[in-house]
Amino acid sequence: MAETSWPTPRPFLKNVKDAFARSGSVERLVLLSSSGAQFRQGVGEIKTNNAAERILTDTNVPTVIFVRCAYFMENWTANLDPLRSPQPFFYSTVTPLDWKMPMLMGRTMPAMKPHIFELHGPRLYSLLDVQQAFCTALGKQISIKPVERADLDAFFSRIFPPQIVGEWVEMATCFLPGGVVAADSISYDDVSVQRGTTELVDAITSAVDVGFERV
């Protein structure tokens, strides 16, 4: 993939690292990272998390914790407008629709804090589960408008400037079948996996209640 002008976190992170060194009083550093942060390539914008982990590992802070979060359940409710249409739907860049992957409610945080751990939800979910959660939350049928891999570039070009579209396409596909962070290909043998307890339907319902001002 061609080079992009995606901003690098290195200067900022170096300043943070230097600030820790000058302080000498920071006892614990917790970085909210992402699944796939162990990879330098093939994960789109998640490469910024990889850079952050590598830079912040080399600090004088006694305890450094990296929380590699799975796909946030709340991402599906970022834009509720299509759900208000006469024929409600939501877009999905995840295909096929029965593909299952880890999803997590963002407010979940377990008590156990090893040095590096993956933070997932209670089980794997597919887009059909997301669809059913929306149907339950809204009490009506909701359709999915899947965006196939071949159409991702055009889809993200409607949202982002051209210089970063490739990063978003790469990130979207890294979780799909054959991707470097795909649920059926990545190994967690050497990393602790902690699980939140909030089910997808509860996370979606909570976000929809707020978005539709039902609370």
What distance in Å separates the CA atoms of residue 57 and residue 6, rounded to the nearest whole number?
23
Tens of pLDDT along 97-142?
999 999 999 876 555 555 788 889 999 999 999 999 999 999 999 9
What distance in Å separates the CA atoms of residue 192 and residue 195, rounded to the nearest whole number?
10
Residue-level pLDDT at 215: 56
CATH 3.40.50.720 fits 10-211, yes or no: yes
Tens of pLDDT along 173-185?
999 999 999 988 8
With CA atoms as reference, report the closest residue to 211 among 117, 138, 105. Answer: 138
Tell me the whole-structure pTM to 2 decimals. 0.77
What distance in Å separates the CA atoms of residue 119 and residue 102, rounded to the nearest whole number?
9
